[in-house]
Amino acid sequence: MKTKASRVLIVDDMSVNRMVISSLLATNGVFSDQAESGTECLSLCKKKKYDLILLDHHMPEPDGVDTLLALKELFAERGRSIPVVCHTTADGAKNIKLYKAAGFADVLIKPIDPMQLSELVMTYLPEEDKLITAENSMAGPEDTPPQNALLDNVEEIEKLPLWLKTVPHIDLVSGVANSGDAEDYLYSLYIFHSSIEEKVDEIKTYYDNDDWTMYRLSMHSLKSMARLIGARLLVESAAALEASAESGNIKDIRKNTLELLASYRKYSNYLSPLKDDETIRQIRLEEIKKQKEAVPAESPDNHKKTILFVYAHPGIVTKGIEKGLTDSGFSVISIPEEPAAIIAHRQEADIAVYYPSIADGSNIELTMNLLSELCLDDAKLLCVTGDPSDLALAMSSNGAQRISGTYPRPLNKELFLKDMEYFSGLLDEYRRKKSLFIVDDDPNYLQVISHWLTDTYNVSCFNNGRDLLDGLSAAKPDLILLDYEMPEMNGYDVIRSIRKDPEKQKIPIIFLTEKNDREHIFRILQFKPDGYLLKTTQKEPLLDTLRRFYSESLFKSSVRGFSEPVSPS
């Protein structure tokens, strides 16, 4: 039985730090949430269960220690202990003993070392929830993957054909974890197998012509695909030769390349039954069908949405608000602020409007927490209306960070209804099938990731930066996933060109790369990408990251240009 995935909370007031840590966690198959303050951290911990918290020490009030103390009280109330790891700068390393004495489980030094973070994940996350990466699997005996990883994927591994379970030098646990399920793993294997002879000839040509730049990029691509399918020994060999090409160690290249190519060719025989596999045949037919049925992204319909109107007590004002919404074409579900009623109707509505009233017995803290949680999880929008004093209490609650608009009494109905119309359009835009451009010089990786994402997005693939820029002249996508390591025009050159173009500079860009060292991370981040993901990120964390990106974009759009939040008095 496959267990739930672990979830980590990253708390840091610097978005760059949160972005990097989130990407490194996704590489390990670990989902994460982010908070930019101690207050937001406490709010999230009251609503969700986390397996590990990474807490920055130096933050504006409350700082890391004060936040830790508050967390300890919260954990004690709930009878559950969650490890909290302090992450701090190198200057803070001298205070490690003090941090641990304060109650931190461990200390992580910034800039984050990927191996140190992986060790923390393996140390502190629950055994039954850990997911194994190719790098971790390589550390153990070749044919004995850790038992917890095997249990996590046992259902999917049982679906694999029997012959595959006898293939040497392939870690099925890692492969299935990377691809998400047995079917997608078989597809990844098929793409890998189909390109072996072509890839061998390509590497041999670069080797014979002393073209070490293209040789290095080919080894880089081979390493990525081998890691994806769990071919651990091949990953190690390709990584070593990539490093040799990067350092100019031609002697090692001459010594080891032909041996690697011979080992690589063996997979052609190992995986030959894939050519006749019925699952692969069905997947390929589905791919062809999707390509034929692909249509341009449609414009949003801008149809009226269903509003969940939550009130403390029915009366003239609530009836007036309900009538105004109904007369404007909205469907309205009116319910009292009871948790059971809110939960029962959460899936039926698009926008939640809360009308609290302390005088009528509102439990504002409880209701706001519940409404903000469902809006965060379901990508809904939350608005609050009422007396200024009640709005001030709502804005001081833990759920206030998800409020899109506040509307004090006496209600400006014209503004309120105008905002509801705008929110309806935003939700239509959010739910439209988004267009996604993926840029990578490795056609095999493009095929695999396109297969992962096509059900959710309209995907277009480009093999190099020039083709992408040409494509952008014809259409603007909702998001670009951009590789770094490409010949002629690398990811830096591409994002620099896009950011200089007034017509294209606002297109969101997430880097998708294998580079996770300090130098490359900070070089990438200077161009202010909208995200940073490692190619070793598994399918499910990748989909989760994209979903969260679009959900946060929806929320950010909803709070711009509307009524100013009411400040607590």
Q: Could you tell me the residue ranges of all domains in the chain?
A: 7-130, 137-292, 306-427, 435-537
Q: Is the peptide bond before 477 cis (omega within 30 degrees of 0)?
A: no
What are the structure tokens assigned to 334, written together?
Answer: 């009116």
Instruction: Please tell me the least confidently modeled range out of 95-109, 201-215, 238-252, 501-515.
Output: 95-109
> How high is the pLDDT of residue 440?
93
Out of 3.40.50.2300, 3.30.930.10, 3.30.413.10, 2.102.10.10, the CATH code matching 306-427 is 3.40.50.2300
For the beta carbon of residue 318, count every other beta carbon within 10 angstroms: 18
Out of 3.40.390.30, 3.40.50.2300, 3.30.750.24, 3.40.1400.10, the CATH code matching 435-537 is 3.40.50.2300
Whether the domain at 7-130 and the domain at 306-427 fall into the same CATH topology: yes
> How high is the pLDDT of residue 191?
92
How deeply is 203 buried, as exposed, middle or buried, from its count of CB atoms within 10 A (0-12, 13-18, 19+)? buried
- The band of 140, judged by pLDDT with boundaries at 50, 70 and 90, is very low
Overall fold of domain 7-130? Rossmann fold (3.40.50)
> How high is the pLDDT of residue 135?
36
pLDDT at 408 exceeding the cut of 50: yes
pLDDT at 132 exceeding the cut of 50: no
Q: Give the residue among 457, 448, 472 at the shortest CA–CA distance from 539.
A: 448
- The band of 565, judged by pLDDT with boundaries at 50, 70 and 90, is very low
CA atoms within 13 A on the CB side of 334: 16
- The band of 282, judged by pLDDT with boundaries at 50, 70 and 90, is confident
| Spatial contact of 304 and 280, defined as CB atoms under 8 Å apart | no
Between CA 466 and CA 204 the distance in angstroms is 26
State the DSSP H helix or E strand holding residue 542, giving kind and residue range, or none if neither.
helix 539-558
- The band of 270, judged by pLDDT with boundaries at 50, 70 and 90, is very high
Q: Give the residue among 538, 517, 520, 485 at the shortest CA–CA distance from 220.
A: 485
At CA 545, angle to CA 543 and CA 548, rounded to 5?
Answer: 110
Q: Please, which residues have CB within 8 angstroms of residue 322's CB and are 6 or more apart in sequence? A: 309, 332, 334
Q: Where are the alpha helices (DSSP H) in 304-354?
A: 316-327, 339-345
> How high is the pLDDT of residue 444?
92
> How high is the pLDDT of residue 2?
35
- CA 96 to chain centroid, in Å, comes to 31
Q: What is the pLDDT of residues 246-266, one digit of tens each?
A: 999 999 999 999 999 999 999
Between CA 111 and CA 115 the distance in angstroms is 12
**Of residues 72 and 308, which shows the higher confidence score?**
308
